[in-house]
Amino acid sequence: MLKLHYLGYNGHAADLKEAQGVFESFGLEGYFDKPFVADGVFFAELNEFLTRELAEEGYSGVEVRVTPARTEIIIRATQTQKVLGEKGRRIRELTSVVQKRFKFPENTVELYAEKVANRGLCAIAQAESLKYKLLNGLAVRR
């Protein structure tokens, strides 16, 4: 993501074609057409979106599994109930946003929430927890 940000891609392009144009403007024609580059840009943008959207829920990463029938996106968080929302409303909203943003066909993307097994061993979860404790003036060692 850092390299793409340096190239002028900030993770909020209206379409991945815009990112392709950035690559081409730097003389990297055809580079974006490689499947692993397109997958990396997709993952970076998805991770950036979920980091911003789910920071307070203890977001600590995402895993994308692509099958012929559908794409499964597993969101790892410390507070999965908040990710799911009341009666699953929040996860359905996130699914809809991801589906529309990345132009997935109807009913081909599924979002799941997975609880971080051991919060103490997850560096991202620890950093987010520390950030919110410091911002809210809470005791850091609790």
Instruction: Work out the average pLDDT over 111-137.
Output: 89
Q: Which residue has the higher pLDDT, 9 or 108?
A: 108
Q: Return the H-helix or E-strand segment holding 22.
A: helix 16-25
CB 80, CB 115: distance < 8 Å: yes
Q: Is the pTM of this model over 0.85?
A: no
pLDDT, position 96: 93
Q: Return the H-helix or E-strand segment holding 97.
A: helix 89-101
pLDDT, position 25: 64
Q: Is 113 exposed, middle or buried (0-12, 13-18, 19+ CB in 10 A)?
A: buried
pLDDT tens, 47-67? 999 999 998 888 999 999 988
CB 38, CB 16: distance < 8 Å: yes
Q: Return the H-helix or E-strand segment holding 112.
A: strand 109-115
pLDDT tens, 74-119? 999 999 999 999 999 999 999 999 999 988 899 899 999 999 988 8
Q: What percent of the chain has pLDDT over 70?
A: 75
